[in-house]
Amino acid sequence: MGETYGSESLLFLTDEQIRQGIEAMYFAYRGLTSEPDRILGNLAYGRAHHRAIHFINRAPGTTVTNLLEILGVTKQSLNRVLRTLIEDGLVESRVGKIDKRERNLFLTETGTALEARLSDAQRTRMRSAYRDAGPEAVAGFRKVLESMMDTELRRKYASLRETKS
């Protein structure tokens, strides 16, 4: 109780409250991915395809290595997903101009269309949650999430956001 301001503001964090926060993350994350998963299921794709499409859309022309760092999977795993997306004409892979070892990835028109469909579903849910909770809650939400990320990952995330304002 009678402590400094700093530790007083920590006292509200009981184990139980923290636990509830963790569970809330779990359920909310599921809520956010359920609709895209449903759409993807009908197309014989999975969440991995969504992630690839999402980040290629976000940073057009990105390389495979770039994508690997952001997604945190092995290149073999990513490659399988990319291969099907390329075969199906959703993603285009161009040999790098400066360095021919690299592949620059782009969404095709079809790919962009699917991306829009998937992110619309998520944005609708997110937007409605934001609306329910109000602007101040949203600010807090973002603040906590950013603290929860890996420092390293946040760096990559930030560099991603630079490419498209």
List residues near DNA by CB under 7 A: 40, 44-49, 51, 63-65, 68, 72-83, 93, 96, 98-103
Q: For residue 62, give the 3-state DSSP assignment.
A: strand
- The pair of three-digit structure tokens given for residue 120, joined into one six-digit string: 């619309």
Helix, strand, coil percentages, rounded to 5, for the chain: 70, 5, 20
- What are the DSSP calls for 79-107, one per residue? HHHHHHHHHTTSEEEEE-SS-TT-EEEEE
Size of the site for its own copies (CB under 8 A): 59
**Binder of residue 163, out of DNA, its own copies, none (CB less than 5 to 8 A by kind):** none
94 forms part of the interface with its own copies (CB under 8 A): no
Q: Which of 19, 80, 94, 101 binds its own copies (CB under 8 A)?
A: 19
Interface mask toward its own copies for 122-151; x: CB under 8 A: xx-xxxxxxxxxxxxxxxxxxxxxxxxxx-
Query: What are phi and psi for residue 89, nearest 5 degrees?
Result: 75, 25
* Stretch of 17-25, 61-69, 84-92, 103-111 contacting its own copies, by CB under 8 A: 17-25
The nearest distance, CB 104 to its own copies, in angstroms, is 21
Contacts with 50 (C-beta within 8 Å, 6 or more apart), sequence order: 36, 40, 118
Which helix (H) or strand (E) is 63 found in, with range?
strand 62-63
Query: What are phi and psi for residue 88, nearest 5 degrees?
Result: -80, 0
**Binder of residue 161, out of its own copies, DNA, none (CB less than 5 to 8 A by kind):** its own copies
The nearest distance, CB 26 to its own copies, in angstroms, is 8
Residues that bind its own copies (CB under 8 A): 9-10, 12-13, 15-16, 18-32, 34, 51, 58, 72, 119, 122-123, 125-150, 153-154, 157, 161, 165
